[in-house]
Amino acid sequence: MNQQITPESTGVEKKLRILSGIQPSGTPTLGNYIGAMRNWKLLADEYDCLYMIADLHSITVRQDPSKLRQQSIQLFALLLAIGLDPEKNVLFFQSHVPQHTQLSWVLNCFTYMGEMSRMTQFKDKSAKHSDNINCGLFTYPVLMASDILLYQANLVPVGADQTQHLEICRDIATRFNGIYGNVFTVPEGYYPKFGARVMSLQDPARKMSKSDPDDCFISMLDSADNIRRKIKRAVTDSDAEIRFDPENKPGVSNLLAIQSALTGDSLDSVVSSYEGKGYGVLKSTLTDVIINTLSPIQNEFNRYMNDRAYLENVWRNGADHASYLANKTLSKVMKKVGFIAK
């Protein structure tokens, strides 16, 4: 095990800590990249960042074991491919750090059934997977709280669908602190300065999701031919004017927003570039922008996937570093609760 580099050992001023996780339930979409992932590498200079593959969370839904392993490795390689430097960020698999589940059990005992039953994602997932309404599905917000509190995270990137989980995490931390003293950092939500909500290519009223039919989203590993096909088939409307009007022209507005997000050009600038032009030009230009964005990431991804020894070294070092941080919190919790130190 490599020697851990910590603020205490270097004398460096302590940065605020950010924790974020992503489930290996499939390849991230272009929406995941624009909305979250591309911003992660920009945070390392300002924050102490931990990024985990949330594989424990993924099994609330039945998974094919071999597929889950492959998707987990691919996702880890993709984190490196987007530019996350393992020297600046802690990258690890959640299942490699058993303190997550240890703390989760303790926090389950400080969380009420009524709180869990109000979680909207439990209701949504129960409706989608009515044949597998398991206890993990019910209590996984407590595991999520454990993920955050274990590392004393100050900030947690959250979308609209995760706000409720952050609030229950804050409630659990406050309750525990009220009983045992100042044990946990009570986290705040982190809202990135740059980002855009990317909608489905076929139903622009809904967020782009990898669980939707294939033509509805662009995967970060889609081939150039697939990207061309999907953008060509993307929903527009019968009005040929290109303008940003989410209410009346949601499909066209979604395509314009994607281009703006990927190029960094303002929406006004993007719209003006299409003055007098048709949807064919819009789709062709956007296709090139997406391919040019994803192609270098895919090249890096393939390079990492062909170097399994390097990947294993990075995730082992990440697990060691994460475990070091996790142990400090868990030891304090176990002592506060009244367990005997070994």
Summarised one tens digit per residue, pLDDT across range 299-320 is 999 999 999 999 999 999 999 9
- The distance of Cα 7 from the centroid of its chain, to the nearest Å, equals 26
Q: Are 234 and 283 in contact (CB under 8 A)?
A: yes
pLDDT tens across 124-141, in order? 776 676 777 888 778 889
Our answer to whether residue 230 is catalytic in this structure is no
Report the CATH superfamily, name and number, of domain 7-195+308-337.
HUPs (3.40.50.620)
CA–CA distance, 223 with 211 (Å, rounded to integer): 19
Question: Domain-by-domain residue ranges, the chain?
Answer: 7-195+308-337, 214-302
Which pLDDT band holds residue 44 (cuts at 50, 70, 90)? confident
Residue of 14, 88, 193, 207 with catalytic role:
207
CA–CA distance, 79 with 49 (Å, rounded to integer): 13
Say which range, 60-69, 172-181, 322-331, has the weakest mean pLDDT.
60-69
Which pLDDT band holds residue 6 (cuts at 50, 70, 90)? very low
Residue of 15, 88, 210, 342 with catalytic role:
210
C-alpha closest to that of 139 among 25, 21, 60: 60
The three-state secondary structure class of 29 is: strand
- Both structure tokens of 19: 């924790």
CA–CA distance, 192 with 210 (Å, rounded to integer): 22
- Greater confidence, 2 or 249? 249
CATH topology match: 7-195+308-337 vs 214-302: no
pLDDT of residue 3: 42
Say which range, 8-17, 74-83, 165-174, has the weakest mean pLDDT.
8-17
Task: Check pLDDT > 90 for residue 76.
Answer: yes
Q: Are 41 and 79 in contact (CB under 8 A)?
A: no
The three-state secondary structure class of 6 is: coil
Q: Which fold has domain 214-302?
A: Tyrosyl-Transfer RNA Synthetase (1.10.240)
Residue of 125, 230, 249, 283 with catalytic role:
125
Strand partners of residue 93: 53
Q: Are 128 and 121 in contact (CB under 8 A)?
A: no
Task: Check pLDDT > 60 for residue 10.
Answer: no
Q: Report how far apart, in Å, the C-alpha atoms of 182 and of each of 100, 176, 259, 330 are.
A: 20, 8, 46, 14
Our answer to whether residue 125 is catalytic in this structure is yes
φ, ψ for residue 340 (rounded to 5)?
Answer: -85, 130
Our answer to whether residue 249 is catalytic in this structure is no
CA–CA distance, 212 with 201 (Å, rounded to integer): 10
CA–CA distance, 229 with 233 (Å, rounded to integer): 6
pLDDT tens across 257-291, in order? 999 999 999 999 999 999 999 999 999 999 999 99
One-letter-per-residue 3-state SS of 56-125:
HHHCCCCCCHHHHHHHHHHHHHHHHHCCCCCCCEEEEEHHHCCHHHHHHHHHHCCCCHHHHHCCHHHHHH
Task: Check pLDDT > 50 for residue 9.
Answer: no
Over the range 101-136, which residues count as b (16 or more CB within 10 Å of their CB) and which as e?
A: ebbbebbbebbeeeebeebeebeebeeeeeeeeeee
Classify residue 238 by burial, with Cβ atoms within 10 Å: 0-12, 13-18, 19+.
exposed
